[in-house]
Amino acid sequence: MNRPTNLIEAIEQIAPSLKKAERRVATLVLQDIEGTTRTSIKSFAAQAQVSEPTVMRFARRVGCDGFSAFKMRLAQDFAVGRMYIEAERKVQAGDPGTTAQRVFQSGMDALATAFAGLDENLLSEAAAIIAQAGRIVCLGVGGSSAVMAQEMENRLFRFGLPVTASADPYKQQMLAAIAEKSDAFLIFSVTGKPNSLVEAAGIAAGRGAAVIAVTLPDSPLAQRATLLLPLVIPGDEVHFNFPNRTRYGQLLVIDCLSAIVGAMKQPASARRLHRIRTTLLALHGHTEAQPIGD
pLDDT digits (tens, 9 = 90+) for 222-236: 999 999 999 988 765
Structural domains in the chain, CATH included, are 7-89 (1.10.10.10), 120-269 (3.40.50.10490)
Torsion of CA 261, 265, 269, 270, to 10 degrees: 100
pLDDT digits (tens, 9 = 90+) for 70-94: 998 888 888 766 655 555 444 455 5
pTM of the model: 0.67
Q: How far apart are CA 197 and CA 132, in angstroms?
A: 23
| Residue with the larger pLDDT of the pair 51 and 110 | 51
Torsion of CA 68, 106, 123, 117, to 10 degrees: 10
Q: Which helix (H) or strand (E) holds 244?
A: none
Q: How far apart are CA 56 and CA 242, in angstroms?
A: 37
| Residue with the larger pLDDT of the pair 213 and 115 | 213
Neighbouring C-beta atoms of residue 19, cutoff 10 Å = 9
Edge-to-edge order in the sheet of strand 210-215: 163-166, 135-139, 183-188, 210-215, 227-230
Q: Which of 62-66, 168-172, 268-272 is predicted with the least confidence, judged by mean pLDDT?
A: 268-272
* Strands 227-230 vs 135-139: parallel, antiparallel or unpaired: unpaired
pLDDT, averaged across the chain = 85
